[in-house]
Structure 1
Amino acid sequence: MFLWRSVLAKSLHLRHYTQSASALAVALDEPPSFTYLEGLPRPDPKYDETILAIPRAASGTSASAKERKHGRVPGIVFEQEDGQHGGNKRLISVRANQIRKLVNHLGYSFLLSRLFDLEVRAEFESDEVVEKVRVLPRKLHLHSGTDATLNVTFIRAPSHALLKVEVPLVYIGDDVCPGIRKGASLNTIKRKVKYLCPADIIPPYIEVDLSELDVGQKLVMGDLKVHPALKLLQSKDEPVCKILGARVSDQRRK
């Protein structure tokens, strides 16, 4: 209780999580409420979509192959007991063409940092809704040769959930970066960073601003601008990128 009251009193400047998500749910009278902050990335409503699914009775290699033969992708919906996976799973199947469309529109990494409504129906063409829940895609298993989706894992994402998310990085400001304008190059070290995120404010991506970096300078994970309620799950001193100068031999050739 004291933890979240401090958060609200300090305008959501949350610095530490000292309890698990399940322990917090027991300790609090009401779950905290978070909103995206102005100036930080938020999901584009253009890509809001309800993923349709049907219950799946059987698991295993042969059952999954049968689902794929009929244009469906076998999947699982988990609880979020430890922020990543847990018990109480539901076996489902989703339409292969819908998952393929989402991957094509968003890209693999960006799909895994975006929430969707999942509607489980008795049949795809039925009006009987078995369950409707908000989910985060956790993992897509792709065919190594064709990139076809072989199976998909979702995790339930109610507002009170704290979820471990690998958030993709988007690099901006390279056109005005002092180091790059001097002929140096960008060494991209990280493409994703892992955070513990309140479900309501999972960032679709994080911007890495290069506009003030000169030759030899770098950005580390602690430099990234994110909502204060996000907890970094990697070292804050781990490098994200660096501006590398040209080699002496290359400069002499010029």
Structure 2
Amino acid sequence: MALFIHRALSNKTLHLRFFSQAALALDQSSSSPSPLTSLEAFPKPDPKYAETILAVPRAISGKNIAAKERKVGRVPSIVFEQEDGQHGGNKRLISVQTNQIRKLVKHLGESFFLSRVFDLEVRSDFGTGDLIEKVRVLPRKLHLHAGTDAPLNVTFIRAPSNALLKVDIPLVFRGEDVCPGLRKGLYLNTIKRTVKFLCPADLIPPYIDVDLSELDGGQKLVMGDLKVHPALKLIQSKDEPVCKIMGARVSDQQKKK
């Protein structure tokens, strides 16, 4: 499923063009507009999946309670408060709907679900219950059943506009069809599928576009090569490799003999 989404997104991003380094520097140095302004050159979340996640409060936790919640179609969850923008503080126990979380994860893919901000609506009861709280959240952890992929637990963290959040952003590779190395019969060694950035909550990208169109044999892309909004801060080393064009696989070489 993830591979399907990966390829589909790759095809949709062929038209994207990135700002030059001079343009990025201008954006960072200018007082107007703000560096937190969204830039057209970078991908934005598909509004098709901008669902409000519905939840109800949960009084207590524990294995028995969690099992009962799952039995009636609910996923035991936690919302951590934002204190300094990076660490969870006080927590709220909630339960969300199994079917809704399963659908979102299925359509978006797990890594894309975990890098997207959602509105979360806590009501006294699903549907028509009194509204207790409405808040923006980022899914932080997702535990799926090994056999059925049913969601077992979800952890959310509050994502107000002023928050800075550590996010593993998925990578989407494009340009395979024109990549010089791949056209020679070499193969792509994918080293990273997500990269961790410190992101303003309003500017978390749904993915990072990785352009393979100029890579030849033996060449690689590192984290510092990724083109992202200037407000995002890379947490990992900029020299860590993301992907590399490698020689033909041993199995391919044997087939030619």
> Residue in 2 aligned with 1:136?
138
Deviation at 1:153, TM superposition (A): 0.5
Structure 1 moving runs of 4+ over 6 Å: none
The answer on whether the counterparts of 2:55 and 2:96 sit within 8 Å (CA) in structure 1 is yes
Q: How does 1:65-76 map to 2 (within 5 A)?
A: 65-76=67-78
Deviation at 1:143, TM superposition (A): 1.3
Change in Cα spacing, 1:185 to 1:66, as seen in structure 2 (3 Å) is: same
Change in Cα spacing, 1:238 to 1:63, as seen in structure 2 (3 Å) is: same
The residue type paired with residue 185 of structure 1 is Y
> Residue in 1 aligned with 2:123?
121
Deviation at 1:33, TM superposition (A): 7.1
Deviation at 1:119, TM superposition (A): 0.3
> Residue in 2 aligned with 1:149?
151
Percent identity (aligned): 75
> Residue in 2 aligned with 1:18?
none
Change in Cα spacing, 1:250 to 1:44, as seen in structure 2 (3 Å) is: same
Does 2:24 correspond to 1:11?
Answer: no
CA distance in structure 1 between the partners assigned to 2:206 and 2:182 by the alignment: 27
CA distance in structure 1 between the partners assigned to 2:87 and 2:143 by the alignment: 16
The answer on whether the counterparts of 1:195 and 1:231 sit within 8 Å (CA) in structure 2 is yes
Q: How does 1:39-78 map to 2 (within 5 A)?
A: 39-78=41-80
Q: How does 1:192-231 map to 2 (within 5 A)?
A: 192-231=194-233
Cα deviation code 1:3-30 (max 9, x no counterpart): xxxxxx952369xxxxxxxxxxxxxxxx
Gaps of at least 5 residues in structure 2 are: 1-24
Deviation at 1:36, TM superposition (A): 2.4
Q: Normalising to structure 2: TM-score of the pair?
A: 0.84
> Residue in 2 aligned with 1:29?
none
Cα deviation code 1:90-114 (max 9, x no counterpart): 1000010000000111010000011
CA distance in structure 2 between the partners assigned to 1:166 and 1:123 by the alignment: 33
Deviation at 1:127, TM superposition (A): 4.1
* Cα RMSD for the two superposed structures: 2.1
Q: Normalising to structure 1: TM-score of the pair?
A: 0.85
The answer on whether the counterparts of 1:80 and 1:161 sit within 8 Å (CA) in structure 2 is yes
> Residue in 2 aligned with 1:109?
111
**Helix, strand or coil: the match of 1:11?**
helix
Task: From 250, 253, 256, give the equivalent of 1:250.
Answer: 253
**Helix, strand or coil: the match of 1:250?**
helix
The residue type paired with residue 216 of structure 1 is G
> Residue in 1 aligned with 2:94?
92
CA distance in structure 1 between the partners assigned to 2:255 and 2:61 by the alignment: 64
Change in Cα spacing, 1:104 to 1:253, as seen in structure 2 (3 Å) is: closer
Change in Cα spacing, 1:149 to 1:133, as seen in structure 2 (3 Å) is: same
The answer on whether the counterparts of 2:116 and 2:139 sit within 8 Å (CA) in structure 1 is yes
Q: How does 1:233-244 map to 2 (within 5 A)?
A: 233-244=235-246
CA distance in structure 1 between the partners assigned to 2:84 and 2:241 by the alignment: 27
The residue type paired with residue 210 of structure 1 is L
The residue type paired with residue 253 of structure 2 is D
Gaps of at least 5 residues in structure 1 are: 1-8, 15-31
CA distance in structure 2 between the partners assigned to 1:33 and 1:179 by the alignment: 37
Count residues in correspondence.
229
Cα deviation code 1:216-241 (max 9, x no counterpart): 10000000000011110100000000
